[in-house]
């Protein structure tokens, strides 16, 4: 269980790479590993996505080695300019590692430190270096087979059932998470952002009927209003293939819990089902996989609706996938953006999903 360290919160959490020093890391790690000292730190790979992730190469004193702390770990947080727009997301990821990860419901990287500073709008996690254990990672460019989707939906059903309509959900913040509190959707779907995206190669797979930004934006808001009437549970919030990992010992795990939130089960399910599968496999398997999720939810103790109700909700939920088309350049690889937004756009066209929200 990650614990709080008063001496770390008394001093500022890192706001930039320059703030990540051996002294700060010593104070952070000592919260769970007393006596540890970081003698030196070197920066390795840096990934500037929604948040900044930096691989750290660490040298410890004898207490650090005795505690079997790893020679490498990753630090993640609001460490670059874009992240300043989505501060709540990093605080939510900290909350996940402090409150949810220790329960072992879903597989996720181990955290060695997790702390947030609401006033500063910062959340920092020091986490396991999965590369060191020969873990492989999902890639949104390459669709997943139906068997992997079924396994992922089973894991989601167990997570959703754990806090199904629970009064404890209030500790996870406002319904809708940082997407609502930070205004992410409306900012991304603004006309200037949409028009710029429609002129980029990433949009070439989007059918003409779905290139109308105001119509798609309105559909997303209708979808969100529909969601507000549904039973709520605990969600990953952003379960795309780029947030999946596959340990060498088998199984599956989820990365990037910064979109963790309260909301309706269908949010995760539709995002997984349509976002993971290639178009041909989705057309063949989507109904069976949705039914599979509903069965797993019932087994885990959740209150699954009828298939007919779930099917309409699934079609309406597809509109959120269109947000992929307007994510800022550099936050995801362009080929990944094109692959995912095309899958959702084609699915919306296949189902004439505007009818599901009318």
What pLDDT is attached to residue 259?
A: 86
**Cβ distance 39 to 60 under 8 Å?**
yes
Domains for the chain: give ranges and CATH numbers. Answer: 6-133 (3.30.200.20), 136-357 (3.90.1200.10)
CB atoms closer than 10 angstroms to residue 145 = 13
What pLDDT is attached to residue 358?
A: 83
What pLDDT is attached to residue 176?
A: 84
* 45, 113, 180, 236 from 174: Cα distances, Å: 34, 24, 8, 14
CA atoms within 13 A on the CB side of 237: 22
**Cβ distance 294 to 304 under 8 Å?**
yes
Which residue positions in the chain have pLDDT lower than 50? 1-10
Question: What is the C-alpha R_g of the chain?
Answer: 20
DSSP single-letter state for residue 175: B
pLDDT digits (tens, 9 = 90+) for 156-184: 999 999 999 999 999 888 888 877 777 88
What pLDDT is attached to residue 92?
A: 87
CB atoms closer than 10 angstroms to residue 223 = 23
Question: Residue with structure tokens 């996505």?
Answer: 49
What pLDDT is attached to residue 273?
A: 97
Report the chain's terminal Cα–Cα distance, integer Å.
46
What pLDDT is attached to residue 47?
A: 87
Question: Residue with structure tokens 């066209």?
Answer: 349
- DSSP per residue over 95-125, as a string? HIIIIIGGG-SS----EEEEEEETTTTEEEE
β-pairing, 122-128 with 233-235?
unpaired
pTM score, two decimals? 0.90
CB atoms closer than 10 angstroms to residue 327 = 20
């Amino acid at each position: 269980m990650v614990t709080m360290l008063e001496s770390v919160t008394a001093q500022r959490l890192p706001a930039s790479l320059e703030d990540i020093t051996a002294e700060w890391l010593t104070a952070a790690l000592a919260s769970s590993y007393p006596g540890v000292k970081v003698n030196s730190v070197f920066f390795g790979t840096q990934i500037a996505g929604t948040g900044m992730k930096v691989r750290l190469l660490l040298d410890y004193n004898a207490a650090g080695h005795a505690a079997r702390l790893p020679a490498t770990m990753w630090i993640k947080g609001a460490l670059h300019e874009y992240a300043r727009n989505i501060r709540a997301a990093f605080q939510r990821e900290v909350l996940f590692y402090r409150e949810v990860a220790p329960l072992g419901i879903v597989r996720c990287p181990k955290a060695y430190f997790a702390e947030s500073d609401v006033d500063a709008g910062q959340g920092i996690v020091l986490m396991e270096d999965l590369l060191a254990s020969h873990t492989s990672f999902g890639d949104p460019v390459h669709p997943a087979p139906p068997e992997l989707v079924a396994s992922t939906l089973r894991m989601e059903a167990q997570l959703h059932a754990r806090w199904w309509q629970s009064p404890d959900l209030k500790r996870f913040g406002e319904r809708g998470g940082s997407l609502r509190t930070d205004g992410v959707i409306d900012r991304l779907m603004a006309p200037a952002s949409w028009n710029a995206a429609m002129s980029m190669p990433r949009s070439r797979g989007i059918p003409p009927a779905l290139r109308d930004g105001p119509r798609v934006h309105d559909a997303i808001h209708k979808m969100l209003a529909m969601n507000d009437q549904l039973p709520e549970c605990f969600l990953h919030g952003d379960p795309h293939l780029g947030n999946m990992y596959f340990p060498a010992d088998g199984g599956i795990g989820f990365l990037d819990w910064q979109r963790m939130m309260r909301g309706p089960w269908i949010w995760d399910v539709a995002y997984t089902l349509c976002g993971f599968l290639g178009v041909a496999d989705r057309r063949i398997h989507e109904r069976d996989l949705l039914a599979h999720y509903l069965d797993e939810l019932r087994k885990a103790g959740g209150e699954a609706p009828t298939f007919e109700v779930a099917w309409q909700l699934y079609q309406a939920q597809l509109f959120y996938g269109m947000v992929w088309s307007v994510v800022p350049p550099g936050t995801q690889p362009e080929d990944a953006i094109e692959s995912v937004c095309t899958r959702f756009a084609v699915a919306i066209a296949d189902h004439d999903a505007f009818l599901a929200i009318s």
